[in-house]
C-alpha cells in the first residue's frame, strides 16, 4: 500500500540499459563497442586483449566462455604494461565467466568469477 510518506518503486519493462553482447570465436582486442563477450575456444586457443586501461577508466567487460572443449585455452590479456589483478594474463575455464573493470591507472580488476 502506498501512503503519503512511503516510497513506491515502479519498474517499467524494457526501460533499463541495453548493452552489447557479441559472440567471438577468434583472437581480438576489445573495443568500446563490446560489453558482454561470449567466447568460443572450441576450434583453437583464443586470446582476448583488453584495451589500455588508462584510455578507458571505469570500463566494464563481461567475458563468458561458452565452449566445453577442455584442450583449448581462453586467455584474457592486458595491453602493454597493464595488469589484471596483478598478472599480465588470466585464463578462463570452460563455461566460466569473469567481470573485469578498469581503474584507469594501468589495472583491470576481476570483480566477479562464476
Give me the residue spans of the domains in the chain.
21-113
pLDDT in tens, 11-30: 556 667 889 999 999 999 99
**Considering the entire predicted model, what is its pTM?**
0.85
> CA 18 to CA 42: how far, in whole Å?
28
User: 21-113, what's its fold?
Assistant: Jelly Rolls (2.60.120)
SS3 labels along the chain = CCCCCCCCCCCCCCCCCCCCEEEECCCEECCCCCCEEEECCCCCCEEEECCCHHHCCCCEEEEEECCCCCCCCEEEECCCCCEECCECEEEECCCCEEEEEECCCCEEEEEEEC
Please write the tens of the pLDDT for every residue from 55-112.
999 999 999 999 998 899 999 999 999 999 999 999 999 999 999 999 999 999 999 9
Amino acid at each position: 500500500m502506498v501512503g503519503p510518506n512511503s516510497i513506491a518503486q515502479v519498474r517499467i519493462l524494457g526501460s533499463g540499459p541495453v548493452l552489447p553482447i557479441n559472440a567471438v570465436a577468434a583472437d581480438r582486442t576489445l573495443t568500446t563497442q563490446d560489453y558482454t563477450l561470449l567466447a568460443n575456444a572450441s576450434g583453437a586457443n583464443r586470446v582476448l586483449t583488453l584495451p589500455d586501461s588508462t584510455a578507458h577508466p571505469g570500463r566494464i567487460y563481461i567475458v563468458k566462455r561458452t565452449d566445453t572443449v577442455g584442450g583449448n585455452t581462453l586467455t584474457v590479456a592486458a595491453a602493454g604494461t597493464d595488469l589484471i589483478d596483478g598478472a599480465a594474463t588470466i585464463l578462463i575455464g570452460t563455461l566460466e565467466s569473469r567481470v573485469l573493470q578498469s581503474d584507469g591507472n594501468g589495472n583491470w580488476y576481476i570483480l566477479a568469477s562464476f
